[in-house]
Amino acid sequence: MFQDFKLSHLELFNTQTGECREVSHYLYMSWPDFGVPKSASAMLDFQAHVKRRQESSLRTLYPDWTGPPGGPPVVVHCSAGIGRTGTFCTLDICLSRLEDIGTVDIKQTVRRMRTQRAFSIQTWDQYYFCYKAVIEYAQQSGLLQPVEWSDTELETDSE
């Protein structure tokens, strides 16, 4: 148990071949359906934890991996597979892009995702959260100077 998420380790067995696979299952508990996490920092910590686990598993299971640098894809899901899933995937893609090439295009990332999964990111709040989290990440990483801002004047009603 962590403050905002729970990590479970599952073992899947193929009864015909005897093959066993370990699955790390993360349950992010501080994220209401149709809403956004309480804290961008908590989501950034969660995303970093998932990435570290993915890298560690890749080194352990496939030391001679020659596929994509990050390893095989992570499976992400929520109840409908579009709001919270789309937000997490957008954030993950954008942070990886920021690290790799130093630029981010959240709007284009969401557009590309929606060609593969319609309605990814369901609400304005989820879209806005991606911007907020990327800015916070860039500030923490020293890629962006601290910015004074307030979202109290913004209309955040999803309608």
Torsion 35-86-39-127 (CA) sign: negative
User: How far apart (Å, rounded) are the C-alpha atoms in residues 119 and 66?
Assistant: 33
Cα–Cα distances (Å) from 95 to 58, 101, 107, 120, in that order, read 20, 10, 14, 17
Active site residues: 78
- Beta bridge partner(s), residue 7: 26
For 95, other C-beta atoms within 10 Å of its C-beta total 21
Per DSSP bridges, beta strands 5-13 and 20-28 are antiparallel
